[in-house]
């Protein structure tokens, strides 16, 4: 187990992954080293590593995890930067949903990551051209930078990067921490910099005590162009992925991606299946996106056919009671088709459409069978 602990307040920031002296240099280093890292990482990996760096209590044993991405013998903030870059780079950039967020301490970033993982959205992180330091956000210091900005609604801090192709997005989630009861002024900069006509804008924030009402009122009064502005949600620092998912389910927009369908060819039969809405199913869809995947599958324990994937994909394990037709990911590297019941911690990849248990058993037959998976066009 790596025991070295690198202080968050050192050369890098958790949320921005920037070196205070030379952002361009660090960005190039992240890109170069990230290209050499072959392992796939999930939002859970990012949260685990961040909790480790913040010396938080972690329930699971991380000793077998390969989080030393730069191979320097320790887990550091730089490894977190590399991991985050890998997750972002593996996200498919063709969604009509966008998550935009500003997160100085990383709390809002966690909520943003949950939304990205659930919806498959694209992401744009708002970063200040002049990064905020710890001293800049000292609430008790009336002369600190953030205090001065929040006391002057005309201030517009500059943003480091620009967002391209804003017009392609129908739904935009806008995330930010609550500073002094309101949205940070850099959020106003962002909203006044683009035309959101035709898009539904949905705010979300993180706060220790204050709510969302004041910031929502301020945003509405900016007078920027948008199609619809929905009431948002304020999350606490201990909000979970389930909390975020429950909120998304209440929204009157199609915030989750359209269903992804695939074909399954087995023993002369062509079946269709609907993929689940999680990062594991999306990763599986990427494998079969351009060419069919044939897997040799064998019976196991009289309730499933199981075969090995060509590579590991992210896991989203949960306690599941399977039924006939369920397509399940096991241990990140095996795909199974269930024709009977079982209960265990699995990741749901999808489900075969419109088939009974008896029909599926008959089609799959007994013993070894070749199964071909392909994405429906």
Model confidence pLDDT, tens digit, residues 84-117: 766 655 544 456 899 999 999 999 999 999 999 8
What is the C-alpha to C-alpha distance for residues 366 and 267, in angstroms, rounded to an integer? 11
Read off the pLDDT band of 253 (50, 70, 90): low
Q: Quote the Cα angle for 114-119-124, to 5°.
A: 70
DSSP state of 97: E
**φ, ψ (nearest 5 deg) of residue 80:** -65, -40
The pLDDT value recorded for residue 256 is 43
What is the C-alpha to C-alpha distance for residues 113 and 241, in angstroms, rounded to an integer? 9
The pLDDT value recorded for residue 78 is 80
- Total residues found in the chain within this entry: 377
Model confidence pLDDT, tens digit, residues 152-184: 999 999 999 999 889 889 999 999 999 999 999
More confident call, 236 vs 32: 236
Handedness of CA 312, 315, 318, 324 (dihedral sign): negative
Q: Which of 129, 146, 126 is nearest to 137 (CA)?
A: 146
Q: What percent of the chain is modeled with pLDDT above 70?
A: 84
Contact 364, 266 (CB under 8 A): yes
Task: Give the domain ranges of the chain.
Answer: 1-87, 91-257, 261-375
User: From 2.40.100.20, 1.25.40.10, 3.90.1150.10, 3.20.20.210, which CATH number describes the 261-375 domain?
Assistant: 2.40.100.20
Task: Report the range of poorest mean pLDDT among 58-62, 123-127, 194-198.
Answer: 58-62
- pLDDT at residue 136 is higher than 80: yes
- pLDDT at residue 58 is higher than 60: yes
More confident call, 192 vs 251: 192
Contact 306, 336 (CB under 8 A): yes
Q: Would you call 184 helix, strand, or coil by DSSP? A: coil
CA distances 256 to 27, 53, 171, 277, Å, are 31, 32, 10, 8
- Most confident stretch, 13-27, 218-232, 330-344: 330-344
User: In the CATH scheme, what is the code of domain 91-257?
Assistant: 3.40.50.360
More confident call, 42 vs 285: 285
Handedness of CA 48, 51, 56, 62 (dihedral sign): positive
Model confidence pLDDT, tens digit, residues 67-80: 888 788 888 888 88
The pLDDT value recorded for residue 33 is 53
Q: What percent of the chain is modeled with pLDDT above 90?
A: 59
The pLDDT value recorded for residue 173 is 97
- pLDDT at residue 146 is higher than 80: yes
Read off the pLDDT band of 5 (50, 70, 90): very low
For residue 296, give every residue at least 6 positions away whose Cβ sits within 8 Å of its Cβ, in sequence order, or none.
307, 368, 369, 370, 371
Q: Which of 17, 67, 8 is nearest to 42 (CA)?
A: 67
- pLDDT at residue 11 is higher than 90: no
- pLDDT at residue 192 is higher than 80: yes
For residue 199, give every residue at least 6 positions away whose Cβ sits within 8 Å of its Cβ, in sequence order, or none.
166, 169, 170, 171, 172, 226, 227, 228
Read off the pLDDT band of 55 (50, 70, 90): confident
- pLDDT at residue 370 is higher than 70: yes
Does this model's pTM top 0.85? My answer is: no
Whole-number average pLDDT of the chain: 84
């Amino acid at each position: 187990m790596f025991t070295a602990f690198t202080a968050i307040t050192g050369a890098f920031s958790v949320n921005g992954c920037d070196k205070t002296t030379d952002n361009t240099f660090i960005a190039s280093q992240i890109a170069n080293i990230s290209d050499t890292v072959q392992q796939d990482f999930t939002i859970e990996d990012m949260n685990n590593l961040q909790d480790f760096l913040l010396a938080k209590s972690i329930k699971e044993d991380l000793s077998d995890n390969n989080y030393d991405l730069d191979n320097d013998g320790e887990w550091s903030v730089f490894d977190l930067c590399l991991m985050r870059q890998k997750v972002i780079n593996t996200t498919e950039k063709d969604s009509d949903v966008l998550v935009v967020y500003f997160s100085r301490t990383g709390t809002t970033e966690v909520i943003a990551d949950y939304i990205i993982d659930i919806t498959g959205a694209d992401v744009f992180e708002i970063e200040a051209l002049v990064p905020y330091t710890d001293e800049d956000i000292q609430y008790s210091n009336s002369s600190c930078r953030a205090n001065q900005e929040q006391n002057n609604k005309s201030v517009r801090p500059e943003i480091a990067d620009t967002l391209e192709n804003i017009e392609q997005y129908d739904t935009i989630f806008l995330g930010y921490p609550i500073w002094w009861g309101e949205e940070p002024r850099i959020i106003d900069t962002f909203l006044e910099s683009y035309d959101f006509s035709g898009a539904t804008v949905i705010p979300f924030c993180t706060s220790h005590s204050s709510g969302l009402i004041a910031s929502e009122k301020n945003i509405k009064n900016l007078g920027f162009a948008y199609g619809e502005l929905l009431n948002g949600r304020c999350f606490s620092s201990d909000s979970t992925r389930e909390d975020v998912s429950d909120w998304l389910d209440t929204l009157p927009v199609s915030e989750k991606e359209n269903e992804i369908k695939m074909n399954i060819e087995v023993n002369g039969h062509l079946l269709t299946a609907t993929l689940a809405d999680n990062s594991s199913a999306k990763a599986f869809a990427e494998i079969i996106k351009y060419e069919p995947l044939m897997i040799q599958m064998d019976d196991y324990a009289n309730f499933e056919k199981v075969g090995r994937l060509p590579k590991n994909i992210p896991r989203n394990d949960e306690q599941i009671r399977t039924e006939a037709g369920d397509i399940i990911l096991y241990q990140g590297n095996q795909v199974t088709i269930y024709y009977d019941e079982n209960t265990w911690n699995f990741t749901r990849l999808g489900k075969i459409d419109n088939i009974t248990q008896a029909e599926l058993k008959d089609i799959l037959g007994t013993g070894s069978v070749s199964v071909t998976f392909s994405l429906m066009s």
